[in-house]
Amino acid sequence: MKITFLGAARSVTGSCHLVEAGGLKVLIDCGMRQGRDAKQELGAGGLSFDAGTIDFVLLTHAHIDHSGLVPVLMKNGFSGRILTTSATSELVQIMLVDSGHIQELEAEWRSRKNERAGKPPEEPLYTAEEAKGVIEYITTLEYDSAYDLNENVRIRFVDAGHLFGSACVEFYAKEDGREVKTVFSGDLGNKNIPIINDPDIIDSADYVVMESTYGDRMHEDKRPPDEQLKDVLSEAIRRGGNIVIPSFAVGRSQEILYEISVLLKEGGVPGLEKIPVFLDSPLAIQATEIFKHKYLHYYDDEALEYMKEGVKFFGFETLHIAETAEESKAINDMPGQKIIISASGMCEAGRIKHHLKHNLWRADSTVIFVGYQAEGTLGRQIVDGQRKVKIFNENIHVNAAVTMIDGLSGHADKGGLIEWISHFKTPLKKVFLVHGEEDTILSFQKTLAGLGYDVLAPRLNDSYDTGLGLSPAAAEPKKDIPELIRSTLHNIAAAVEAEIAHGNGSQLAPMEEELKDFLDKWNNRKATRNGEVK
């Protein structure tokens, strides 16, 4: 068996692992790279491997950093099957169509910019229409049901407790006369997440590929999420301004609505009953309908009990749905205090950027973050305390109160990760850490090594063969002097552009056009003999 780490290797997003075993090539997830990870180079067509050779894709859950390149896989010749749970199947369809729409808008914007610069237009990675075709490739498989991929390989999904339908993958492959078991954790849920159950226990494996998003820290506030939200909302209501909650459209938005509905039932936050709550995300609205009408068998006991008592998680009296762009724009023109739940969760796109533009500069406003913020994202800048950010090319001062609710995080913290892996009773031959920032992964590697585990932190495109061990990715060919200089200048220009885009580089702005002009001239020249430049 051979595992190649094609994404989320010493980085958080873009989860994608290729398993070659039993005569098959199987992808565990096929995610999109986001934030700084998006700068990692991919091959032609947006992939670093031959899509036509892949037999199966096993989707652990619907989030775009795990599923976002599936339509690209299809465009590049994939003709196999995608296996996932029924809830993930429905959620991933709406998420990929939404992602395709975003790809189209971004390509249109870049094409207009290119046209002004005399450059060719850009095509989207995939369109919304292309994303709709994913359903034709999907076969659903419920928790705890074994499925044979062929006579040599079988799999089983178990509940990862991260999102409706999220799964860990148990991968069994016959090797040298025995069955080798590898567990892919997917994203492991935090305990006591609203609505869904805690992660299932797995107690045996030979190898484990494990996420480590919070591998170097504990969630600071260990109180239940309803208590944390109660305190934060009480203080935000006292401040008097709008309460903006950047939220992942699928999963987190529904959990927040659940918690607000429970607080309203119990009367735990004085004045909350008078404040309108706006769900302002087309994708979140679609996902909420799936949470509302289907898959009640995924609900935990607490949620089922509240339902019996008549609590309407997604239909309480003060909830308002903003479906159209006009309804979204009208929210900030309405008088009085409001709670605005909008996507995207890391503030990189969507309607949330408009709400932040209108509210971040107000001292009476509150911004509540409820999930992980990747490096390089607008959300990370705000959480890290940056006092000025750029939104739609406008500098916005951050005067609002900014807070994070740990209890609503969809990821287990360091203690939760250690608890999860401690349930394995059989000795693990190797543990591979993925899905974490490099410093976090290396820190968690030391932690687990100190507990007696044999731990590796693979880099992007590294492979591990159970017979040969770890094979580092092939080193890049040595560049000649002109290409090395060109590449260096290109990286500098990209870094300057990124800093300016994020509001960090006002002093660098004059350099941007100079660098671009220099690069244009450089690309039109030829390197002369002996590696020197004219």
What tens digit of pLDDT does each residue of 231-254 get? 999 999 999 999 999 998 998 999
Residues 267, 391 within the same domain: yes
Residue 161 has pLDDT above 90, yes or no: yes
Residues 268, 146 within the same domain: no
Whether residue 13 is contained in a domain is answered as: yes
Residues 306, 333 within the same domain: yes
Show the domain range for 339.
Answer: 225-408
What is the number of domains present in the chain? 3
The answer to which of 112-121, 192-201, 483-492 has the lowest mean pLDDT is: 483-492
The answer to which of 37-46, 262-271, 415-424 has the lowest mean pLDDT is: 37-46
Per-residue pLDDT band for 459 (boundaries 50, 70, 90) equals very high
- Asked if residues 368 and 221 have their Cβ atoms less than 8 Å apart, the reply is no
Whether residue 471 is contained in a domain is answered as: no
Query: How confident is the prediction for the chain on average, in pLDDT?
Result: 88
d(CA 72, CA 494): 25
The residue behind tokens 């419920």 is 142
Residues 419, 295 within the same domain: no
Per-residue pLDDT band for 522 (boundaries 50, 70, 90) equals low
d(CA 501, CA 512): 11
- Of 373, 393, 408, which closes a domain? 408
pLDDT at 491 (0 to 100): 52
Residue 461 has pLDDT above 90, yes or no: yes
CATH of the domain at 347: 3.40.50.10890
pLDDT at 90 (0 to 100): 95
Whether residue 476 is contained in a domain is answered as: no
Residues 195, 247 within the same domain: no
pLDDT at 480 (0 to 100): 45
Residue 6 has pLDDT above 80, yes or no: yes
What tens digit of pLDDT does each residue of 366-421 get? 999 988 787 788 999 999 999 999 998 899 999 999 999 877 788 999 999 999 99
Residue 463 has pLDDT above 90, yes or no: yes
Residue 527 has pLDDT above 90, yes or no: no
Whether residue 17 is contained in a domain is answered as: yes
- Of 466, 495, 513, which closes a domain? 466
pLDDT at 511 (0 to 100): 60
Residue 531 has pLDDT above 50, yes or no: no
pLDDT at 534 (0 to 100): 30
CATH of the domain at 29: 3.60.15.10
What tens digit of pLDDT does each residue of 328-375 get? 999 999 999 999 999 888 888 889 999 999 999 999 999 999 887 877
Question: Which residues lie below 8 Å from residue 337, measured CB to CB, with a gap of 6+?
Answer: 237, 240, 241, 242, 243, 275
Residues 307, 257 within the same domain: yes
Mean pLDDT of 77-85: 97
The one-letter amino acid code at 264 reads L
Residues 241, 331 within the same domain: yes
The count of other CB atoms within 10 Å of the CB of residue 420 is 23
Per-residue pLDDT band for 479 (boundaries 50, 70, 90) equals very low
The answer to which of 216-220, 262-266, 386-390 has the lowest mean pLDDT is: 216-220
Residue 324 has pLDDT above 90, yes or no: yes
Question: Which residues lie below 8 Å from residue 156, measured CB to CB, with a gap of 6+?
Answer: 144, 145, 146, 147, 169, 170, 172
DSSP string, 250-275: TTHHHHHHHHHHHHHHHT-STTGGGS
Compute φ and ψ for 306, nearest 5 degrees: -60, -35
Whether residue 196 is contained in a domain is answered as: yes
Residues 242, 210 within the same domain: no
What tens digit of pLDDT does each residue of 497-511 get? 545 544 555 555 556
Residues 258, 240 within the same domain: yes
Residues 256, 376 within the same domain: yes
pLDDT at 139 (0 to 100): 97
DSSP string, 359-378: HTT-TT-EEEE-S---TTSH
Long-range contacts from 104-112, C-beta under 8 angstroms, 24+ separation: 104/128
Residue 41 has pLDDT above 60, yes or no: no
- Of 466, 494, 513, which closes a domain? 466
Q: What percent of the chain has pLDDT over 90?
A: 69
- Asked if residues 275 and 225 have their Cβ atoms less than 8 Å apart, the reply is no
pLDDT at 528 (0 to 100): 37
- Asked if residues 533 and 482 have their Cβ atoms less than 8 Å apart, the reply is yes
Whether residue 263 is contained in a domain is answered as: yes
Residue 474 has pLDDT above 70, yes or no: no
Residues 257, 342 within the same domain: yes
Residue 260 has pLDDT above 90, yes or no: yes
pTM reported for the whole predicted model: 0.81
d(CA 197, CA 301): 8
Whether residue 6 is contained in a domain is answered as: yes
Whether residue 472 is contained in a domain is answered as: no
Residue 475 has pLDDT above 60, yes or no: no
Residues 155, 130 within the same domain: yes
